[in-house]
Amino acid sequence: MNKSPLQLARYQYQPKLPGMLRNGISEICVKNGNPTESVADQEKIKALFPNTYGKNEITFQKGQNTSAAKKQVVGVILSGGQAPGGHNVICGLYDALKATDKENVLYGFKGGPSGLLENDYLIFDDEYINAYRNTGGFDIIGSGRTKLETEEQFAIVAENCKNHGITALVIIGGDDSNTNAAVLAEYFAANNTGVQVIGCPKTIDGDLKNEDIECSFGFDTATKTYAEIVGNIERDANSAKKYWHFVKVMGRSASHVALETALQTQPNICLIGEEVAAKKMSLAQITDYIADSVAARAAKGWNFGVALIPEGIVEFVPEFSVLIAEINELLAGSKADDFNALPSWEEKYAFIQNGLTEASMAVFAILPQGIQQQLFLERDPHGNVQVSLIESEKLFSAMVKENLAARKAAGTYTGKFSPLHHFLGYEGRCAFPSNFDADYCYSLGYNAFMLIQYGFNGYLSKVSNLSKPAEQWIAGGMPITKMMNMERRHGHDKPVIRKALVELEGKPFTFFADNREKWAEETCYIYPGAIQYFGPTEVCDTTTRTLALEKA
């Protein structure tokens, strides 16, 4: 298999570990912290997790290793969407396991949780691991989105673990995957299987975050990748001086990716879904806001600009959420067949008009026809609108175009508006990890094995103090139940890890809010360029603007 010069060079990179993990396995001991409780719904969560709830937070420090010596056979899976650095979590886990005892074994279950159920696995060795060090992607064992949530599934996993002599499982995933890890850990404890479960926090969306998890892995690399592309687009816009670029970026349930990319590049417009929801902004208000920037820049002779749109923006618009709910109800059951049988869009439009409330029809009517049709053609397996497929970048550019035409007719706008569209998604999920993500992920994996060695179950591998050099990072663990609350899912109350949204009182957003008025009218673009892997620390090892502002 051919390798690029960068790939060959990255194989040689030695990730940096937190200071206390550099002492050597025999000189790492546990410091117990305070007992924990869930973020909300304490009595309900405690009742559901009697064996794993309320445990202490812990940190590792220099001291004599007091863990019981035994052979460890560990299984690992990658779960959910890809995020840069996943390979290094596995490499760190493998290196710590082998440094402790060469006889220890690491199983990689293929294709995510389904590999655990189907007993589809490989056993890692040095040669195989070395081909994936410091590389992007999840192709080392693949990933999947199968949920582990039923007693039958847990029993199958327990049996497969027993047959291989597995003593612990490491689940690398986002909020849903780590919720599943907590439930599986509770089952293993309740049934005395002797198998531990450790989670690792992954998602480029940045919404697996709280006072303990300062940053989910992959967020740094993905946002730097998007910022490079947005910076390139900004430079092109400032060169050609004739296009408005509408750029949609990943992050359906939260706007962390859009905000971080904006902090790195300073575009003219960046919508933040959480602010849209808090202010109950309508589509018309959002359109006016963007059009005001276009008009102000046109008045200075600048008929160009860049607008960032979070992937899930429409779900934050109250009137649009109501519209989606009504459409889902309108096409429930056999009514979808009746609708699809209508031969023309005109007849379908009349069907829609008869089925929606007056308020929702008013919202529907202002949408471009392409978006209207998209709402009815793209359905998920449950018959619901697939909101993530809505081309919101095209929606807003079309609405801005109409808005500007009205202004031109009224004599308040004389510029030219030529929109171009981009969607930055998969471009960032498997990029070569930045030095930060390479170090952070390796540390998470190495740390996960320390949690296993000391017998912890239902814990999340935790590395904090991330805004400082890696030497000062703090390694430890926390019970996954600490992050959980009860939420309504598919008609049932379920324990889940609470998603972290952009905090409108937080330093990253307030910095953005304090500067965006200037960015909207002036050309204040920053061009971050490509991720740097070699060179001065201040160029290669910096983390996100979000983390820098939060920890300033």
**What b/e readout covers 336-367, taking b as 16+ CB neighbours within 10 angstroms?**
eeebeeeeeeeebbebbeebbeeebeebbeeb
The answer to whether 414 and 300 have CB atoms below 8 angstroms apart is: no
- The catalytic residue among 205, 207, 220, 437 is 205
Neighbours of 130 (CB within 10 A): 11
Active site residue 514: no
Q: How far apart are CA 57 and CA 150, in angstroms?
A: 28
The answer to whether 219 and 204 have CB atoms below 8 angstroms apart is: yes
**Helices 435-453 and 219-240, packing angle to 10 deg:** 170
> Up-side HSE of residue 359: CA atoms within 13 Å toward CB?
10
Q: Maximum CA pair distance of the chain?
A: 81
If residue 396 lies in a helix (H) or strand (E), which one and from where to where?
helix 392-409
The Cα-based distances of 393 to 306, 421, 525, 536 in angstroms read 11, 7, 20, 37
Neighbours of 230 (CB within 10 A): 29
Classify 129 as helix, strand or coil.
Answer: helix
Backbone dihedral angles phi then psi of residue 343, each to the nearest 5 degrees:
-80, -25
Q: How far apart are CA 479 and CA 494, in angstroms?
A: 18
Q: How far apart are CA 314 and CA 524, in angstroms?
A: 27
- Looking up tokens 């502002």 gives 549
What are the respective helix, strand and coil percentages of the chain, to the nearest 5?
45, 15, 40
List 173's β-bridge partners, or say none: 201
Q: How far apart are CA 193 and CA 191, in angstroms?
A: 6
Paired tokens of 435 = 């030095």
Neighbours of 521 (CB within 10 A): 17
Classify 105 as helix, strand or coil.
Answer: strand
> Up-side HSE of residue 456: CA atoms within 13 Å toward CB?
31
If residue 261 lies in a helix (H) or strand (E), which one and from where to where?
helix 256-265
**CA nearest neighbour of 261 among 230, 232, 305:** 230
- Looking up tokens 């000189």 gives 27
**CA nearest neighbour of 16 among 470, 467, 448:** 470
As annotated, the active-site residues are 205
